[in-house]
Amino acid sequence: MNETWIILGATSSMARAMARRLADDGKGLILAARDMKDVQATAADCAARGAALAEAVAFDARDPKSFEAIIDRAAREDGMVSCAVFVGSMPDQADISADPSLVDGTVMDSFTGPARFLERLAPLMEERGGGTVVGVGSVAGDRGRVGNYVYGAAKAGFHTYMSGLRNRLTRAGAHAVTVKPGFVDTAMTWGLEGMFLVASPDDVARDILRGVEKKKNVVYTPFFWRYIMRIIKSVPEPIFKKLSI
């Protein structure tokens, strides 16, 4: 059946990898990001690879006025509408501590912006009785750590939002998948110290689409992060607070 995917944050390399896979599959794509010149290149790429529709649209997580047009555009397509959220920002925790106003932007990019967008989109998905929301969170949202707790808190908020959205959409025959990537080899992590077991964006995209197909609720990618995080979550707080991991 005809399916149109809205990709929020389509300039991210994980989003690009997923869009390519959807294009190979002949799906429709509405690619939304701030950098229009770049997202137009991704749209051209997806069109050449076989996407039924590949359109670049302007989107800014901090500007809710940009949301309506995207949802209207998707509504014009027949069939199911799905959405994958790749937006988020991870300023250095030290920078946030020096300038706490950065907290707001981080939360808006990683949580409240996407949540506002998805709240508007949900009625359309319910009306059509299907489709999938993919929400890319982070293992950093599973437990607050000294190195990136503002980013982690924003992602934790988003995880909770996703679980509620899943609860809501299920009643209408739609679905929501929470994705928690570990370390992924992207521009965001390029050159960072202490990276290990780094996954490629395409590996992540493959795992996400497998999760969508199998209607998974929470996908850790690569899979072993589920076990790493289970251990990290099980450390008692009196001990955890003294660790620096």
Q: Point out which residues bind other proteins (CB under 8 A).
A: 11-13, 16, 35, 37-38, 41-42, 44-45, 48-49, 186-187, 190-192
Looking at beta carbons only, is 198 or 232 nearer to other proteins?
A: 198
Six token digits for residue 2? 């005809």
- Strands laid side by side in the 28-33 sheet: 53-58, 28-33, 3-8, 80-85, 132-136, 175-181, 218-221
Q: Smallest gap, in angstroms, from Cβ of residue 74 to other proteins?
A: 23
Reduce the DSSP state of residue 71 to 3 states and report it.
Answer: helix
Cβ distance 57 to 107 under 8 Å? no
Q: Smallest gap, in angstroms, from Cβ of residue 27 to other proteins?
A: 17
Looking at beta carbons only, is 56 or 169 nearer to other proteins?
A: 56
Residue count of the chain: 245
Q: Smallest gap, in angstroms, from Cβ of residue 20 to other proteins?
A: 9
Q: Smallest gap, in angstroms, from Cβ of residue 113 to other proteins?
A: 20
Looking at beta carbons only, is 43 or 121 nearer to other proteins?
A: 43
Looking at beta carbons only, is 13 or 221 nearer to other proteins?
A: 13
> How far is residue 56 CA from its own chain's centroid?
18
Looking at beta carbons only, is 48 or 235 nearer to other proteins?
A: 48
Rounded Cα distance, 103 and 171, in Å? 34
Q: Smallest gap, in angstroms, from Cβ of residue 35 to other proteins?
A: 6
Burial (CB < 10 A; 0-12, 13-18, 19+), residue 132, is buried
> How far is residue 201 CA from its own chain's centroid?
13
